[in-house]
Chains A and B, each alone.
Chain A
Amino acid sequence: MTAQAGVDVPVVRPQGRATRWLGGDGAFRVAVTACSAVVLVTIVAMVIFLLVQGFDAMRHYGFFSFLTTARWAPSEATATSSSPNPYGILQFIYGTLITSLIAMILAVPVAVSVALYITNFAPLRLRRGLSSLVDLLAAVPSVVYGFWGIFALLPALKPIGGFLASTLGKVPVIGVAFSGPYFGYSYFAAGVVLAIMVLPIIAAVCREIFATTAGSWKEAATALGATRWEVAMVAVYRPSRTGILGASILGLGRALGETIAVTMVIGNYVLSINKSILGQGATMSSVIANEFTEAVEPFHLQALFVVGFWLLVVALVVNIIARRIVAAQAAL
């Protein structure tokens, strides 16, 4: 059968018939340009949509007034009063950034180690299995992570949280960030769930990057008498640092916007910035998910669109900064 197929493959076109349509190049260029334009148009349309939807609230309370308070109390909104703005969103920006930060601190070292192990240390038989297991982690739907977070992770984190509260929580100055009581639902738990969710993304990209490092470098390092550890550091990790940063940005993008799993474990406290990472809070995406179905107070729904707008801004800014860092790294 394969032989049969092999015979069929080289199709010889009849001579004299035009095998190239001369307009092909132009048409192809137009087609791919149009497709790329769709991406740009989508982003711009989204920003415009969010601004238009949130316009009433922005006009009523002032464009920047959302960013100057951390108190979200829709029940206190009235149709007429415009000050103070009951829809402060600083605490959500804080929540989004702090959970993503916790996630990155926990996930990046582990992900890089996993990728290093798979590409450089694992026995050949294990590599493929391990790789697909890591990829499988990325395929778990986020609501499943949320459920797992509530029923498995929260109880498992309880002793850790309690330990942090009773040790670090008692230290002056930094103690504020770890003060108890620890009930489970917290920035910390959300950060850990996010870490597990972004780990496979970072690990998978790092694995590809490590796999493409030049074999000659490794051989050279080995020839110079480097140990396996030194080979991994010098010939694999060093040249891949820019790639690792890029991989981390991909992970960070997911962490910033992840909604359902976070909503399920963060505790959804919206009235102020909770200084303790062991306390409850909310992120920009979690408050939207929680409230948009019942946003019936004056300007409530519009205020949620404002949150969506700033979430987009935060995500873009973080991405731009991260890209700058990657570019600076690559230039070195």
Chain B
Amino acid sequence: MRIATMRATVVAVGMLGLLDACGSSGSGAGAATTTATTPGATAVCKSTTQNPGYKNGLTKQPNQATSLSGAGSTFVNSMMSVWTAAYASAGGVQVAYQSIGSGAGIKQVQAGTVDFGDSDAYMKDADIALAKGPVLQVPLVLAPVVVTYNVTGVASGLKLDGETIGKIFAGKITSWDDPAIKSENPKVTLPSEPIATVHRSDGSGTTDIFTDFLTKESPTWVTALGGATQSRGKTVAWPNGIGGKGNDGVSGAVGQTEGAIGYVELGYALTQHLPYANVKNKSGAFIEPCNQTVLAATNGVTYPVDLRFDLTDASDPQAYPITGTTWALIYQNQTDAAKAAALINFFSWVLTTGQDMTSAVNYQPLGKDLQQKCIDQLKKMTLNGQPIVP
């Protein structure tokens, strides 16, 4: 009964989101088909974004601790620093976030040395087994991973499909004027120069999102890496190319190397003025990564109760296919009343007021249905086994 209602809500909200996207592109129901052939997707992206203005935060808990410590994902760091600064100046508590990487964040959570962790890849059952108890995994923002390149004379919007990207990163396509790239981009002048692939040299949630997409869309990639279990992860055995440390390392290497192609969070491509590709999604449309197309990736997604899900290769006609999220990791059962109160207050703020600050740093706010589920997730927190929020 409860699940049925939830599903109905998801579908309803999903359709609402689709309508929003269509409305903003100004072409009604035909928008999805136009994106495939004309720069219609750009029209979707250029419309101004509205802050969601969520008001469904939890009741403020009294007697909260004066500080919180968190650690994990580097990808969420620029967002987190905006949040922690704004939260402190808005009368909240001091939140110290160490940007040490998703894997290290999970480790710190398992060791119980921080109040919360953050990871771009959700904790698997094996990870949770090493923790001190059940962990709430709460998505905080959405973000696209963009395929960025540095080819003289080629601007943003080069059309690439998953198999082509997979072949490039597997070393099967080695020149920019390869027929596979040319055939999708007849109007673009592609030089005959070698392709340098750039990937993350450190373990990374960004890599996880990107290789998840490649694994779903590129059989060549899966074969080259020796099967689907090897072809996706925070680290994979890259068959060739340049390794860059962090998102900035990859965007720097792409910017410095003529003929390079790499993958980074959208914000890094924008700040470095690097062009990025429109990637073919499941319905066959080439989609530009932006606020609307990232949000579209959450349309029609049925979220599991533990909120562990992938957003890559979504079925919505306007969905950008390489979309991911980042999860806050919080122990479900807290033992310190003051810390528990501070955690609920902070994350309730992040999921409501905090969502209005995402566009400033090129992240995308959570869709309405997902945001509500995250709030519900927070409500599950207990203090020594007793529920905190009524």
Contact = CB atoms under 8 A, between A and B. Distances in A.
A219 interface: no
Contact of B230 (A75, A151, A294, A296): A75
B350 to A, nearest CB: 24
A20 to B, nearest CB: 55
Interface in B182-215: 194, 196, 201-204
B256 A151 contact: yes
Interface in A134-187: 150-151, 154-155, 180-181, 183-185
Contact of A184 (B230, B245, B256): B256
Task: Give the interface size class of chain B.
Answer: 35 or more
B151 interface: no
A113 interface: no
B117 to A, nearest CB: 13
A184 B242 CA distance: 10
A76 interface: yes
B203 A295 contact: yes
A56 interface: no
B284 interface: no
B17 interface: no
Given A293-B103, A295-B203, A267 B243 contact: yes
Interface stretch (B233-241, B289-297, B308-316, B352-360): B233-241
Contact of A271 (B203, B234, B238, B259): B238
B332 to A, nearest CB: 22
Contacts of A273: none
A296 to B, nearest CB: 4
Given A268-B242, A294-B101, A150 B256 contact: yes
Nearest to A268: B243
A271 B101 contact: no
B375 interface: no
A269 B240 CA distance: 7
Interface string A235-270: 000000000000000000000000000011001111
Interface in A46-90: 71, 73-76
A296 B203 CA distance: 8
A208 interface: no
B235 A297 contact: yes
Interface residues of A, number: 31
Contact of B234 (A73, A268, A290, A294): A294
Contact of A290 (B201, B230, B240, B257): B201
B236 A75 contact: yes
Contacts of B226: 76
Determine which residue in B101, B235, B240 has the highest number of CB atoms from chain A within 10 A of its CB, and name it: B235
A294 B202 CA distance: 7
A203 B253 CA distance: 32
A181 B100 CA distance: 34
Nearest to A289: B245
A136 B256 CA distance: 28
B260 to A, nearest CB: 7
B25 interface: no
B319 interface: no
Given A150-B256, A184-B257, A268-B201, A296 B245 contact: no
A283 interface: no
Contacts of A76: 226, 230, 237
Given A270-B243, A280-B241, A294-B102, A155 B256 contact: yes
B202 A293 contact: yes
A230 interface: no
B245 A290 contact: yes
A185 B196 CA distance: 10
A223 to B, nearest CB: 56
Contact of B237 (A73, A181, A289): A73
A284 B25 CA distance: 52
Interface string B89-108: 00000000000111110110
B244 interface: yes
A181 B201 CA distance: 21
Contacts of A154: 256-257
A256 B259 CA distance: 31
Contacts of B260: 183
Contacts of B57: none
Contacts of A263: 201, 245
A280 B249 CA distance: 15
B240 A268 contact: no
Contacts of B243: 267-270, 280, 282, 290
Given A183-B196, A268-B243, A296 B234 contact: yes
Given A155-B256, A263-B245, A296-B106, A271 B194 contact: no
Interface string A109-127: 0000000000000000000
B101 A185 contact: no
Given A294-B104, A296-B203, A75 B242 contact: no
Interface string B125-146: 0000000000000000000000
Nearest to B237: A73
A71 B237 CA distance: 9
Nearest to A297: B235
Contacts of A183: 194, 196, 242, 257-260
B101 A293 contact: yes
A75 B235 contact: yes
A3 B233 CA distance: 75
A185 B242 contact: yes
Interface in B253-311: 253, 256-260
A307 to B, nearest CB: 14
B219 interface: no
A183 B256 CA distance: 9
Closest 10 CB pairs of A and B: A294-B203, A268-B243, A296-B103, A268-B201, A73-B237, A294-B103, A181-B194, A293-B101, A183-B196, A290-B201
6 contacts: A75-B236, A154-B256, A181-B259, A264-B245, A268-B201, A270-B243
Interface of A: 71, 73-76, 150-151, 154-155, 180-181, 183-185, 263-264, 267-271, 280, 282, 289-291, 293-297
Interface of B: 100-104, 106-107, 194, 196, 201-204, 226, 230, 233-245, 249, 252-253, 256-260
Given A263-B201, A268-B201, A293-B101, 16 more contacts: A74-B203, A150-B252, A181-B196, A184-B256, A185-B253, A269-B241, A271-B239, A280-B243, A290-B202, A290-B245, A291-B203, A294-B101, A294-B102, A294-B204, A296-B106, A296-B203
